[in-house]
Amino acid sequence: MKSATIILPTYNERENVGIIIPQIFEQEEKTPGWEFSIVVVDDTSPDKTAEKVVELQKKYKKLYITSGQKAGLGKAYVRGFKYVLTNLKSDIVFEMDADLSHDPASIPLLLQKIDGGADIVIGTRYIKGGSIPKNWEFYRKVFSYCGNLVVRLGFMHLAVHDWTNGYRAIKTDFLKEIIPHLDEYNGYVFQIALLDRAVKLHKKIEEVPVHFQERNSGVSKINSGRYIFDIVRYIFQHSSFIKFGIVGLIGAVLDFGTSFFLIEKAGFAIWMATVISAEIAIISNFFFNNFWSFSHKKVENTRSSFLKSLIQFNTISVGNILIQAILLQGATVFFPREYWYIYKVIIIALVIIPYSYFLYNKVVWKKK
């Protein structure tokens, strides 16, 4: 018999826990081969949520509670994870909101994906069959959708459709790997940090469509301004794609600066200066990307591995230059030539950067 523990972070959710806890245990009967337990992580709620949970423990023997001071969603979940890893022998841990915005009826669907070999299963609002509340104001819908889209594009990992929903089933073996990494996050950005780590460790991530519902009662704890700031900061600090773009800009400046010096100051022929400056920029980009952008999967520190990867990087980079030249030449045939610099920017932004990022990931810094 496999075991799953559902973690419910709470702060002033007395009314809601009285509804959601029975609903969760009802799903156990619909999930053969699994037994459930629940850990309520209460942040010393003034409405005495903990007392309600203690009352429910008389009926549900696998209902547990751990209390602490209010320090944010991330800290609450980490506290819950540590409680499960220390005190319970669970195969799977669920993240779930206690306010009934996550329907417990979806638990069996997430576990089916786990049984199919997934390391993490996300209850997703943004795939066919999923949804957000129809009665939400327009700005809330835009905030929810655009916030998630920013994360997807910021990490350039479009295969995951919902980075910000907190309805997830996670293998405990994975949690053991990442607990130290999660300790530093105390707000809602914790959800993004956890999933980012899963992607970088090449964990198998699956998605199940869910209907996100309006909370049953109480008040939402999210601070929209702080949430947006934390998301943007996390992306700039941890996104390989953003770092890749910064490295590209550094390379462009180095390329131009070297060409200028060799042509204007050293008297080199233009073609020779161009070749030398391009190669210097390529080598610079390789090392910056290896030790910064893709540091989580950097090339093995051996001479043969470095040489092989550098040659691969050079080949792709030269290929990118040829693709750019062909597309730019084609654009000037069909459109006014005097706007060539606009076409060049568009080609680099929409073709070269995504294409090269994809190839570098698949060839040079591929999965280990």
Count CA atoms closer than 13 A to 202's CA, side-chain side: 8
**Residue 335 — pLDDT band, cuts 50, 70, 90?**
confident
Q: What is the CA radius of gyration of the chain?
A: 25
For 32-53, what is the mean pLDDT? 93
Maximum mean pLDDT: which of 58-67, 206-215, 353-362: 58-67
Are 4 and 93 contacting, i.e. CB atoms less than 8 angstroms apart?
yes
Count, residues in the chain: 368
What does the pLDDT read at residue 320?
A: 81
> How many of the other CB atoms lie within 10 Å of CB of 366?
11
262 within 8 A of 277, measured Cβ to Cβ: yes
Distance CA 14, CA 49 (A): 4
Q: How far apart are CA 49 and CA 60, in angstroms?
A: 16
Tens of pLDDT, residue by residue over 60-114, are 999 999 988 887 888 899 999 999 999 998 999 999 999 899 999 999 999 999 9
Q: Report the C-alpha gap between 71 and 9 in whole angstroms.
A: 11
SS (H, E, C) 90-130: CCEEEECCCCCCCCHHHHHHHHHHHHCCCCEEEEECCCCCC
Looking at the chain, the whole-number percentage of residues with pLDDT higher than 70 is 96
Q: Helices 240-260 and 270-288 meet at what angle, rounded to 10?
A: 150
Residues 11-40 have a mean pLDDT of: 94
Q: Which residue type, as a one-letter code, is found at position 345? A: V
pLDDT at 221 over 60: no
| Amino acid found at 76 | A
Q: Rounded to two decimals, what is the model's pTM?
A: 0.80
pLDDT at position 98: 92
Alpha-carbon span 47 to 11, nearest angstrom: 8
Rounded to 5°, angle at Cα 231 from 102 and 172: 50
224 pLDDT exceeds 70? no
DSSP 166: -
Read off the amino acid at residue 47.
D
Per CATH, the architecture of 2-236 is what?
Alpha-Beta Complex (3.90)
Q: Identify the top-confidence range among 36-45, 295-304, 331-340.
A: 36-45
Q: Averaged over 348-352, what is the pLDDT?
A: 83
User: 243 with 293: CB under 8 angstroms?
Assistant: yes
